[in-house]
Structure 1
Amino acid sequence: MTEIAEARARAGRPTWLYRFDWEATAPGYEGLAHHCVDLPFAFDLLDAPGVTEALGEHPPQALADAVHAAWVRFVRDLDPGPSWPRYTAATRATRIWAAEPTVAHDG
């Protein structure tokens, strides 16, 4: 994904990059950040059927609130907001969604 973000940034295209670091705690998934684990957070569906079985008991609602708000703002405004800076060739900013969300700069 980094190569795509770099190519878009070089072309002057608005680009945002993220990494989802929250680990599931459900039996069989402990310590894993498996494919699509971010979707219940992004759509604020932590109470949807099957989510507890995949993510474990009590996934952090605060993380779902933050991810969901950023996605909604991106859809509405084409910008997820200041807590998720644009990826550029100079900053290489990546939003890290985790229990304590941060931004990593690899520039």
Structure 2
Amino acid sequence: MLEKLREKYGEDFSWYEFTGNNLRKQIFENRLRTELTPEHSLFEKGKDLVAVAKSERNDDVLFWDGVDYYIVHLTWGKGNAHFPIYKIIHQNDIIEYLENDYLYG
């Protein structure tokens, strides 16, 4: 999915994509489930989210539910009703969002 942005910006592009059954992918999926408490608005959906990519600049991880993308800023602590914070991005807008994040983030 991110090949064109990697080709355009090379190693400067700040997101890397998980491939196959990557151990890091599993770590981030498990971490998300650990941080989402029952009070969190993403709790129910969280069990179905699949890790797609990770930002190298911060703790943002891109997840996908088969329809939309979720950029979740993992806290590496105990979650609550407000954390981790996240953004929902429509699948048609994700490439533009990540490119803008690279350019202006």
Structure with a larger share of its residues in helix: 2
Q: What's the TM-score once normalised by structure 2's chain length?
A: 0.26
Select the structure with the greater relative contact order (CA < 8 A; seq sep ≥ 6).
1
Q: What's the TM-score once normalised by structure 1's chain length?
A: 0.26
